[in-house]
Structure 1
């Protein structure tokens, strides 16, 4: 069974072109499922049926796994058994009728404009690290890109003169404009800091870590949390908080939903619409202040 799992992981990487996060999550979830099957003395996937899968889901619920975790496990199981059905000629798919539990969509955490300003002021540019950190924070808020996209950028992905960056994910490419403030920070970083931070002069990495190697998502998260603490931001800030703030602030100031969807790289506009709900109060105030019969 372990070999079949390895073949499935290769399929995700080479055929589906799944993101690294998806591959790692699915492998981790399916390895836990294998351990469950072993405890049930089930030695092959052909012996798995709907009852087996429902028992596994019930076990996760009894252990009080988060709804999002259970949903991801179900997605992994459905994808895996779809693969077995199509590529290993399984006669039936026991996961075909599995349904993920409904996840209540909560409004994303968003910083105020004042909080973002305070955060972006923290790296003062007194050394190479602060120049890099300033450029990263400014770029993330200016474009709303994901942290995985930020740390994967190369010098070939940015055009400071023309004012845009190019992001690619899952075979889709999008062009996002860069504001003037972020461009100033980028120019300063590229000229004064980046050359001396690289371990290899020929490297195309845009934002290396302090060892001159590619920065990890976790590395940027630590940087962000340090500056958030210095800025006195009490909320539990994550890299996605800047992405959420980017979208919410654009819509609050009149940007159209389709443009924000394009910049965020959302394939489904319903994902972007969640930010509109955050502006309901502001829309009500505008109506009250401007409609002649309000």
Structure 2
């Protein structure tokens, strides 16, 4: 499948970063790219390695002139205490921003750095091969570093999800709001004009999230020729560049039909753009970026809620919760969402405390009826 401009930009950034990396990091990136690890993940890992190597140089743990010159023997000789000091540095370092504000790294960012290093060290000690057919080295200090993550029950994690998703009634009301009420909130003529131009496109995007449960990246990377309106199917590229076919709800199909009927007329040059969702830039159609899709979802949901907007991922959660609520089973939902682990999908079986209360109420009512029947029989 064709790559979006964003995906091409990420690949270019990876190549730029690799020019400053040691050869064994270059080998690692090439290997993981072939294995299907996402380009976004690899780029984030490269940023972590860059920071780690700079720390090694600054702390005098290597005599190398720069990061690219650091031999893997330095990594082999690192002690557990060295890594623990680096993690403490990650936690305590002040991050400076253009607005002259500073803050500490969040726990998730620190954990990402540790995961990145664990992956690299695992590769160097298990998957590499020198001229003698041996791994570059065998002493893996990162295997001694344990991440202590806060454990939660599936029910507790599900409650966190359910607090920021739309229920079945809200899904209907939200799409109705965008289609028939949102325009009335706009004050400027330019804003109204732009909304009218993009209305069918934006409704198709919102309806697609809520009618299929696909991810943000999958939406941005969708190709027009991969949409089968008659069979109500779309072909998409999942994580790890896996090809998949996804079913779509009728309402989303209708919104897609409406968008496709005006796509080429309203967005000049759209016929030559393979990606389904486009915008106008400099008077010419361009693929709609993930950031733009994320922004439009936030804009409409914030207006609907008269407060803070939600992300495309929460619309995906909304679809999943509604799927289970309407009798869908967990295996079907796993396939629909493209999860590789059914434990992730199982969160949605615990989503609504209101649903649980209703089940308990029905149980109580049924038991009461049975007790009354027993008393009458006696």
TM-score, with normalisation over the residues of structure 1?
0.89
In 2, the alpha carbon distance for the partners of 1:113 and 1:94 equals 50
The gaps in structure 1 that reach 5 residues or longer are: none
1:80 CA displacement = 1.1
Q: Is 1:111 matched with 2:166? A: yes
Q: Is 1:10 matched with 2:30? A: yes
In 2, the alpha carbon distance for the partners of 1:150 and 1:281 equals 31
1:53 CA displacement = 1.6
In 2, the alpha carbon distance for the partners of 1:265 and 1:122 equals 29
Correspondence for 1:52 among 79, 82, 99: 82
Q: Is 1:67 matched with 2:107? A: yes
1:104 CA displacement = 4.5
Where do residues 94-105 of structure 1 align in structure 2 (5 Å cutoff)?
Answer: 94-104=141-151
* Aligned partners of 1:30 and 1:77 also within 8 Å: yes
Change (3 A) 1:22 1:278: same
In 1, the alpha carbon distance for the partners of 2:36 and 2:254 equals 35
SS of residue matched to 1:213: strand
1:264 CA displacement = 0.8
In 2, the alpha carbon distance for the partners of 1:27 and 1:208 equals 31
SS of residue matched to 1:175: strand
1:203 CA displacement = 2.4
Correspondence for 2:236 among 164, 167, 174: 167
Correspondence for 2:175 among 108, 120, 124: 120
* Residue number in structure 1 paired with 2:260: 190
Change (3 A) 1:7 1:232: same
Q: Is 1:129 matched with 2:202? A: no
Please provide the CA RMSD for this pair: 2.3
Q: Is 1:259 matched with 2:300? A: no
The gaps in structure 2 that reach 5 residues or longer are: 1-19, 63-69, 94-103, 130-135, 181-194, 369-378
1:52 CA displacement = 2.0
Correspondence for 2:222 among 153, 171, 174: 153
SS of residue matched to 1:42: coil
* Residue number in structure 2 paired with 1:87: 128
Deviation digits for residues 43-66 of structure 1 (CA, Å, limit 9, x no counterpart): 334223222222111222345532
Change (3 A) 1:148 1:104: farther
* Residue number in structure 1 paired with 2:184: none
In 1, the alpha carbon distance for the partners of 2:47 and 2:279 equals 27
TM-score, with normalisation over the residues of structure 2?
0.71
Change (3 A) 1:23 1:194: farther
1:179 CA displacement = 1.2
1:124 CA displacement = 3.3
Max Rg structure: 2
Change (3 A) 1:111 1:200: closer
Compare the two structures and name the one with the higher helix fraction.
2
SS of residue matched to 2:367: coil
In 1, the alpha carbon distance for the partners of 2:137 and 2:260 equals 55
Deviation digits for residues 129-170 of structure 1 (CA, Å, limit 9, x no counterpart): 111111111011101111000000001221111111122222
In 2, the alpha carbon distance for the partners of 1:171 and 1:198 equals 30
